[in-house]
Amino acid sequence: LAKTTQPISMDSYEGQEVNITCSHNNIATNDYITWYQQFPSQGPRFIIQGYKTKVTNEVASLFIPADRKSSTLSLPRVSLSDTAVYYCLVGTVNTGFQKLVFGTGTRLLVSP
């Protein structure tokens, strides 16, 4: 299982774009990269998942360079409600099941 490294915390202001980078130097060929958001006393919420290049959905973008040793979650124009912990995980899919190991996550604080 690839280990991930993220900044412990980040601060931002409403309306700004936030980029959270995750390092996963030991990512395997079959590993996907998945990001989750967690609010206090709630289960993690799926944000986005990707394998390479760029993935975009209605809430975020995920940038993955060619070597796949890192990835960046981009949150456009954050609001106060985006204050949460963000987890980057890698796990092998397509081989039975994807066993995920959570790291420390990044605690994002959005201020007015």
Please check whether residue 86 is in contact with residue 35, taking contact to mean a CB–CB distance below 8 angstroms. Answer: yes
Q: Which is nearer to other proteins, 16 or 53 (CB)?
A: 53
Tokens of 96: 């039975």
Confirm or reject binding of residue 54 to other proteins (CB under 8 A): no
Choose, by CB under 8 A, the member of 28, 80, 101, 109 that binds other proteins: 101
Choose, by CB under 8 A, the member of 46, 79, 80, 109 that binds other proteins: 46
Part of the chain binding other proteins (CB under 8 A), chosen from 12-20, 39-47, 61-69, 72-80? 39-47
Confirm or reject binding of residue 9 to other proteins (CB under 8 A): no
- Write phi, then psi, for 82 (nearest 5 degrees): -85, 0
We find the least distance from the C-beta atom of residue 99 to other proteins, in angstroms, to be: 7
DSSP 82: G
* d(C-alpha 84, C-alpha 71), whole Å: 19
* d(C-alpha 103, C-alpha 106), whole Å: 9
Residue given tokens 């099941």 in the structure block:
97
Task: Return residues touching other proteins (CB under 8 A).
Answer: 32, 34, 36, 41-46, 49, 87, 91, 93-94, 96-105
